[in-house]
Amino acid sequence: MPKKNILGKEQLAFFNDNGYLAIDQLTSREDVAFIREIFDTLFSSEAGRKEGDQFDLAGPGEAEEASLPQIMNPAKYAPELNNSELLKNASAALSQLFGEPVEATFFHAINKPPRHGAETPWHQDAAYWDPVKLHNKISVWVPLQEVFVDNGCMQFIPRSHLMDILPHQSINNDPRVQGLELVPEECEKIKGKAVPCPLPPGGATFHGGYTLHYAGPNKTDRPRRAIILEAELPPSIRDKPMRFPWLERRDAARKQKKP
């Protein structure tokens, strides 16, 4: 695949208008197989667990088997990922979306186990970030097998990137849980508006930090593997700083947990 002009003018316009984009191919099947082998090895070897980089995004970490295991910065534990075709093509596509050169990095890997892989609830990524700043970051979500609604493809609310941060809470309103979700009253407002994005292996979705997105549970007999890359431009300072009480409650719960 070419390393420049990954995206066409209509795709760039769609992203700018809607806050997300889905494409059927960002990398080759051979590259997907290369990454998938690394992915499976990282999870089977529990890479990053001792360092706190592998954990259950949907639970407090007390279950015997995680329902939404993820590894932060997987290239830290498998530097060979940086030789992938995916990284080069993601950097090229993100440079087009930003309108200036950027370098993608591997942000995290998420493995939804067969039959009990939990949903990734509705949220905005920027709800995790510094509330004093306005962020300009784009994530690239890449499936390592076919994805569809029943195994947890990405879903988006078009034009939600035009909103600021909505109220969030820890998943199940449990501050011991790392993951965040939109509060129930806000979820009610978006019912029926979601656009699912089924993809073949090596396809990709792109979304900004303020775009509402979701991925359902894995109801199939096979793992649902996804690897996420990102790039960003320097943030700006808000005229009026926000507070994110959901992060404050989570931080307080962590401090109580420590001996």
Q: What is the DSSP track for 177-233?
A: -S-EEE-HHHHHHTTT--EEE-B-TT-EEEEETTS-EEE--B-SSS-EEEEEEEEEE
Residue 189 has phi, psi (to 5 degrees) of -70, -20
| pLDDT for residue 91 | 97
| pLDDT for residue 44 | 95
- Best CA proximity match to 150, nearest among 213, 217, 200: 217
The mean pLDDT of 87-96, rounded to a whole number, is 98
Taking a C-beta distance cutoff of 8 angstroms, is the pair 222, 114 a contact?
yes
CATH code, residues 9-257: 2.60.120.620
Is residue 117 predicted with pLDDT exceeding 80? yes
- Per-residue pLDDT tens digits for 124-183: 999 999 999 999 999 999 999 999 999 999 999 999 999 999 999 999 999 999 999 999
| pLDDT for residue 61 | 65
**Confidence bin at 2 (pLDDT 50/70/90):** very low
pTM higher than 0.85, yes or no?
yes
Taking a C-beta distance cutoff of 8 angstroms, is the pair 79, 47 a contact?
no
| pLDDT for residue 100 | 96
Taking a C-beta distance cutoff of 8 angstroms, is the pair 124, 209 a contact?
yes
The mean pLDDT of 93-118, rounded to a whole number, is 96
Taking a C-beta distance cutoff of 8 angstroms, is the pair 192, 101 a contact?
no
| pLDDT for residue 207 | 98
- For 258, the token pair is 């420590």
| pLDDT for residue 1 | 42
- Per-residue pLDDT tens digits for 17-65: 999 999 999 999 999 999 999 999 999 999 999 999 999 988 886 456 7
- Best CA proximity match to 74, nearest among 108, 103, 51: 108
Beta strands in 63-157 (DSSP E): 69-72, 105-112, 120-123, 133-143, 154-156
- Per-residue pLDDT tens digits for 171-224: 999 999 999 999 999 999 999 999 999 999 999 999 999 999 999 999 999 999
**Confidence bin at 255 (pLDDT 50/70/90):** confident
- Best CA proximity match to 23, nearest among 141, 132, 106: 141
| pLDDT for residue 189 | 97
What are the residue boundaries of the structural domains of the chain, listed by start?
Answer: 9-257
